[in-house]
Structure 1
Amino acid sequence: MTDNNLIRGSGAAFPNPFIRERADPQILRHGGRYYFTATVPAYDRIVLRTAATLDGLRTAEESTIWVRHAEGAMGSHIWAPELHRIGGGWYVYFAAGEADTATGDVWRIRMYVLENLSEDPLAGEWTEKGRIATPVDSFSLDATTFAHGGRRYLCWAQHDPGLAGSNTSLYLAELADPWTLAGDPVEISRPELDWETVRFAVNEGPYALVRNGRVFLTYSASGTGAEYCVGLLTADADADLLDAASWSKSPVPVFGTSAAHGIYGPGHNAFTVGEDGRDLLVFHARAYEEVAGDPLDNPDRHCRVQPFTWREDGTPDFGLPLPENA
């Protein structure tokens, strides 16, 4: 288990919370720089930061690269942006509902893509590539992408209207281009275990890590309170990832609440590496158990970063969420 309470990179100690009031965080390292994006509490825009060091992200200027529409689609609930470099372009995947008008449905959440062909994602122009079309037009969110074996995949969470009692399952499909599925998606996980169905039956927030001859997909489960936790799917690196049977699910959460450390509901994670090459887990969590009022109105899911290690069998050991130190 990881027991250090400071993240160290290039001689610097990084405090937690790492960045306050930023849920669903992602930190991407590319071209010797770090990039950060996350959900903002107003759910009305997409922001980016960049810095030469991980620690520099904490105080880096935050730029708004896109704002929600005043009406129609992409008008509300701007959630969980992710930044990816694909080919010669930058792409942001995010979820959005409709504008809150007489005819809009703020809960008609769907997945959308932005593109920027500049070398610098904080320069150039971001253009809307539209909605990611899936065979079933239903509540969908938390798109992430990864390349493996010469193919690029999209993984996301979506509601199956025919699956009673379930909110969202995880689906996987190959991409024809960064915003278009190349074929029918495959359901690779649905919320069935006790710890995946507390308050809500949810699998969401997937993120990929390819290492040690395997493809790992972390995901988050249950409601967004103290019950929120991280699960793990695993497939052999040479398996057919679009065969649901290739994936095995951990029977227990691999990262969850630590009352002893005062950290509750960790989840919606991503991965990055420190300047020293250490593997780092990026996630959000609250520092208290009970949330007053509607959790969607609560801004206290702060971004946190901590190192993780690897077991002898080649599987990740995320340990426990570390206590706050700032």
Structure 2
Amino acid sequence: MPTLTPLIAQRADPHIHRHTDGYYYFTASVPAFDRVELRRATSIEGLAQAPTVDVWIKPDSGPYSELIWAPELHFNEGAWYVYFAAAPSREIKDKLFQHRMYAIRNSGPNPLEGEWEFMGQIDTGIDSFCLDATTFSHKGVLYYLWAQKDVAIEGNSNLYIAPMASPWQLGGPPVMLSKPEFDWEIRGFWVNEGPSVLKRNGKIFISYSASATDENYAMGLLWADENADLLDPGAWTKLAAPVLRTCYEHRVYGPGHNSFTSGADGDTVMLVYHARTYTEIIGDPLWNPDRHTYVKALRWDEAGMPVFGSASQA
């Protein structure tokens, strides 16, 4: 298999949305953590050279004025939404940053144009560190899926799901689906974060990332039957082993915080994730800008389960 090269340099937490207008839309955390940046192209490969547009820039002060993390672009109920996490400062309290989750909306056909409206905080009913929101629809219900701290559970964050009353408001209480528990999830930090949803073969899959954001970062998988009650934690199965991890042989380190999109044929599932190409990081890995966006095709086994393969190979 050929060795992968990054699609886009220095873009972490990448999210690619293929829309009905024929365009692929890309957003990610920028190294300065100060804005929401979008680009679009008619192919995945074209995103690499597509011009970027800053659609929202953080204010100078206030509750969402620092550390803009992990934006995701979704088209929900006839409008574009970007969900992102932001903090009031770079201060760490009780070993955590102070992020909460927010949404902006654009009702125009092209999210790179027109006005974006700030919709406010996505209130989960739990006042604690939270981030990495995504949304998906299933059987007529819009769901919100994210990572959040529970003070009664060891670690930085667990995964939660809730129905939505609107694309910027929850319609029910959070339900915890996963927490850090396996050895590979608790290296450096106890973390479950960065969830992404894929529907295929009669199942709902949730990929997620765990451990510190250095070479220990890796991806796990949950799944449920498509006819199950997705708000029932017992409906979900969690793999004990990671599905994507560092490839030391080809020097691709800490793959994670993925999204899914479709290939040019409309059927192939493309895995979008970030990784580093070296481990000699000075200081906190969070501030290192060299997490790059990779894209590769997902494969499937005979049981209809996704095969993620190597982080370094197509």
Aligned equivalents of 1:288, 1:126: Cα separation in 2:
37
- Per the alignment, residue 303 of structure 1 pairs with 293
1:288 is displaced (CA, Å) by: 1.3
Contact 1:256 1:266 in 2 (8 A): yes
Q: In structure 1, what is the equivalent of residue 126 of structure 2? A: 136
1:150 aligns with 2:116: no
- Match of residue 118, structure 1, among 105, 108, 111: 108
CA apart distance, 1:291: 1.7
Select the residue among 18, 27, 34 that pairs with 1:29: 18
Gaps of 5+ in 2: none
- Per-residue CA deviations over 1:10-37 (Å, capped at 9, x if unaligned) read xxxxxx2100000000111002111000
CA–CA separation in structure 1 for the residues paired with 2:133 and 2:58: 18
Q: CA deviation at 1:289?
A: 2.4
1:241 to 208, 214, 230: 230
Distance 1:99 1:249 in 2: 35
Matched position secondary structure for 1:227: coil
Residue of structure 1 in register with 2:99 after alignment: 109
The 3-state SS of whatever aligns with 1:296 is helix
Query: What's the offset of the Cα at 1:210?
Result: 0.6
Please state whether the residue corresponding to 2:64 is helix, strand or coil.
Answer: strand
Answering whether residue 65 of structure 2 is matched by residue 75 of structure 1, we say: yes
Structure 1 contact 225–290 (Cα < 8 Å) conserved: no
Measured against aligned partners, the alpha-carbon deviations of 1:30-52 in whole angstroms (never above 9, x if no partner) come to: 02111000000000001000111
Q: Secondary structure at the match of 1:74?
A: coil
Distance 1:290 1:237 in 2: 43
Tell me the CA shift for residue 323 of structure 1: 5.4
Please, which of 264, 271, 278 is the counterpart of residue 281 of structure 1? 271
Any residues of structure 2 matched to 1:9-88 within 5 Å, and which? 16-30=5-19, 31-88=21-78
TM-score, scaled to structure 2: 0.95
Matched, 1:266 2:255: yes
Where does 1:71-220 land on structure 2 (aligned, <5 Å)?
Answer: 71-99=61-89, 107-163=97-153, 165-220=154-209
Shift of 1:99: 4.1
State the percentage of identical aligned residues: 51
RMSD of equivalent CA atoms: 1.4
Please state whether the residue corresponding to 1:195 is helix, strand or coil.
Answer: helix
Provide the rounded CA distance (Å) in 2 between the counterparts of 1:160 and 1:52.
41
Q: Is the contact between residue 25 and residue 282 of structure 1 (CA under 8 Å) also seen in structure 2? A: yes
- Alpha-carbon offset, residue 100 of structure 1: 5.8
Shift of residue 57 of structure 1?
Answer: 0.6
Q: Report deviation, 1:4.
A: 4.2
Provide structure 1 residue ranges, at least 5 long, that are not aligned to the other structure.
7-15
Aligned residue pairs: how many?
A: 308
Distance 2:113 2:131 in 1: 26
Question: For each residue in 1:156-179, what CA deviation from the matched residue of structure 2 results, as whole angstroms up to 9, or x when unmatched?
Answer: 00000122x311000000000011
- C-alpha separation between the residues in 2 aligned to 1:129 and 1:280? 30
Per-residue deviation, 1:216: 0.1
User: 2 CA distance for matches of 1:279 and 1:289?
Assistant: 29
The question of whether the paired residues in 2 share the 8 Å contact of 1:69 and 1:99 is answered with no
Give the corresponding residue for 1:221: 210
Contact 1:143 1:205 survives alignment (8 Å): yes
Structure 2 Cα separation of the partners of residues 320 and 221 of structure 1? 17
Whole-angstrom distance in 1 between the partners of 2:11 and 2:211: 20
1:88 Cα deviation after fit: 1.2
- 1:267 partner letter: G
CA contact (8 A) 1:140 1:159 kept: yes
Flag the 1:119–1:193 CA change in 2: closer, same or farther, 3 A: same
CA contact (8 A) 2:77 2:167 kept: no
SS in 2 for 1:245: helix
Secondary structure in structure 1 of the residue aligned to 2:98: coil
The structural deviation recorded for 1:322 is 1.8
Aligned residues of 1:75 and 1:100 also touching (Cα < 8 A)? no
* Equivalent position SS for 1:73: coil
